[in-house]
Structure 1
Amino acid sequence: MFVLELTYTAPVDKVDAALADHVTWLDQLYEAGVVLASGRKQPRDGGIIIAVAEDRAAAEALTATDPFVTAGVCEYRITEFLATKTAPALAAYRQQLPG
């Protein structure tokens, strides 16, 4: 599982110009079961996405398709973690520690 932390690299008005496309991108990823949660950081200087991906390379490829990235208004910090405990609703996403 991955925490995708995005930080704005442009003024918020430039971010807002790409927001509708970013939301459409997120909606598609929710539909595909790739994104589990997302939202703005407070203060509004970026956002957080909780996502599942096969590996780090897949997570990097995913973030490269974000309209915010292609518009040049954000950059990502990607953190991989093993979700060994989850809320019951996320049981299907629980992971095992490597042997």
Structure 2
Amino acid sequence: MYVVLLKFSEKRAEAGRLMDGHRAWLQKGFEEGVFLMAGSLQPKAGGAILAHGTSPEALRRRVEEDPLVAEDVVRAEILEIDPSRTDPRLAFLAA
């Protein structure tokens, strides 16, 4: 399981023109079953994604395809988590 942090760079003002592409990129991640959750970092610091079912290398390549990352509007940090205990509703993450 992975947490992807997308933190705004000094180019934050350019985010608006890339949001349609970013949303399409997110949608593709959900449709392909890799993204489980996406949301905003508060207060307006960027975004975060919960991902699973992929390799670190494949996720890194996927993240690099995000228009916000490609244009250096956000900087990505990928954290890998090896779940050892979950709520029963999230047991699939430990498999």
**Same fold, TM-score > 0.5, yes or no:** yes
TM-score range, shorter chain: 0.7 to 0.9
The answer to whether the 8 A contact 1:3-1:49 is kept is yes
What percentage of residue pairs aligned between the two structures are identical?
30
Partner of 1:59: 59
Mark the CA change 1:59 to 1:53 in structure 2 (over 3 Å): closer, same or farther: farther
TM-score, normalised with respect to structure 2: 0.86
- Cross-structure match for 1:77: 77
Aligned length: 94
Structure 1-normalised TM-score?
A: 0.83
Deviations 1:10-36 (A, max 9, x none): 13x311211111111111111111000
The runs of 5 or more residues in structure 2 that have no matched partner are: none
Question: Which structure has the higher relative contact order (CA within 8 Å, separation 6+)?
Answer: 2
Residues 13-66 of structure 1: CA deviation (Å, up to 9, x unaligned): 311211111111111111111000011111112111001143221221111111
Runs of 4 or more consecutive aligned structure 1 residues displaced over 6 Å after TM superposition: none
Q: Structure 1: give runs of 5+ residues left out of the alignment.
A: none
Q: 1:15 maps to what in 2?
A: 15
